Amino acid sequence: MNSSGDGILSSAYLVVGYMDSRLPVNPLQAPFRSAWNYMLSNYTKFQIATWGSLLVHELVYFLFCLPGFIFQFTPCMQKYKIQQDKPETWEKQWKCFKVLLFNHFCIQLPMICGTYYFTEYFNIPYTWNSMPRWYMLLSQCFGCAVIEDTWHYFLHRLLHHRRIYKYIHKVHHDFTSPFGMQAEYAHPLETIVLGAGFFIGIMTFCNHVMLLWAWVAFRLLETIDVHSGYDLPMNPLHLIPFYAGARFHDFHHMNFIGNYASTFTYWDKIFGTDSQFNTHYAVLTNKEKLEDKMN
């Protein structure tokens, strides 16, 4: 190819936003690019898809659980705890941890082992040059969240049906006052049924293995936040339109009825399954205002 052709090709790469070895590397991206290319050079696709996905899941899950775990020992954080009359106990947390280990390695790991075959079937790339820009990853994660939330609302609501609730979903409701680590505490069948919603978005949007990992991180951050039991001020997740948050889902564990969606509030609003939540917090808000006036 002549020099003119090279110039046109380089310009095309700049337009679409992909990184190319002939183009200058952003200093902030350089270490990540080097680490990514090292991974591709030293590990097979199967190892990256399988063990990389497991590592991302485990590190992200327990890293995001850590703040909530620390909050229980921090007196100044107790004012943000939603159900202050139900503190966490070591017994509950140990019970939760044992179930998590079983679910992660006996249920989720076999599913993760299929990641490589999934990426091969859909020709999903691993290369640095084909990696989407950060804003594309964010928009794709949002799209995945919308799809997963719809799946979760209707299947979760079905699991609350009186004929099947006690056989499957009751396990997740062992704790009426949730804490972050409890996010994936569930019956194995529920892990598979509700977890299927995670993969629908991936099948719809995934154009790089990085999206798979970004969506894992985003989904874990969201579900651990809503199960945290703490309604923190200035939570950046509340900038997401229609984001439910910890107070919304905490009421579901306390009340067992309503607030079935995982991430957003619009399905519950459309079907009126947030009515008890709205009534409860209207009364609570009026009570707080009355107490403020008296003080």
Q: Tens place of pLDDT for every residue, the chain, 295 residues?
A: 444 444 443 443 333 344 444 445 577 788 899 999 999 999 999 999 999 999 999 999 999 999 999 999 999 999 999 998 998 899 999 999 999 999 999 999 999 999 999 999 999 999 999 999 999 999 999 999 999 999 999 999 999 999 999 999 999 999 999 999 999 999 999 999 999 999 999 999 989 999 999 999 999 999 999 999 999 988 999 999 999 999 999 999 999 999 999 999 999 999 999 999 999 888 887 877 776 677 6
In this structure, are 117 and 62 located in the same domain? yes
pLDDT for position 15 = 37
Tokens of 235: 């939570």
pLDDT for position 70 = 95
Q: Output the CA–CA distances (angstroms, integers) from residue 189 to 4, 41, 113, 146, in the order listed.
A: 59, 38, 18, 23
CB of 119 closer than 8 Å to CB of 49: yes
In this structure, are 17 and 141 located in the same domain? no
In this structure, are 20 and 74 located in the same domain? no
pLDDT for position 295 = 65
78 secondary structure, DSSP code = G
CB of 53 closer than 8 Å to CB of 213: yes
In this structure, are 16 and 124 located in the same domain? no
Q: Is 26 exposed, middle or buried (0-12, 13-18, 19+ CB in 10 A)?
A: exposed
In this structure, are 91 and 105 located in the same domain? yes
CB of 23 closer than 8 Å to CB of 13: yes
Count of domains for the chain: 2
CB of 201 closer than 8 Å to CB of 147: yes
In this structure, are 1 and 120 located in the same domain? no
In this structure, are 35 and 75 located in the same domain? no
Select from 152, 158, 168, 173 the least CA-distant residue to 244.
152
Q: Is 160 helix (H, G, I), strand (E, B) or coil?
A: coil
In this structure, are 128 and 90 located in the same domain? yes
Quick one: how many helices (H) and strands (E) in the chain? 13, 0
In this structure, are 6 and 120 located in the same domain? no
199 Cβ partners below 8 Å, 6+ apart?
none
127 Cβ partners below 8 Å, 6+ apart?
40
Give 230's strand partners. Answer: 81
- b (16+ CB within 10 A) / e for 189-205: ebbebbbebbbebbeeb
Tokens of 295: 């003080």
In this structure, are 74 and 169 located in the same domain? yes
Select from 204, 207, 236, 206 the least CA-distant residue to 222.
236
pLDDT for position 3 = 46
In this structure, are 28 and 84 located in the same domain? no
Range of the domain at 274: 45-294
CB of 190 closer than 8 Å to CB of 172: yes
In this structure, are 67 and 141 located in the same domain? yes
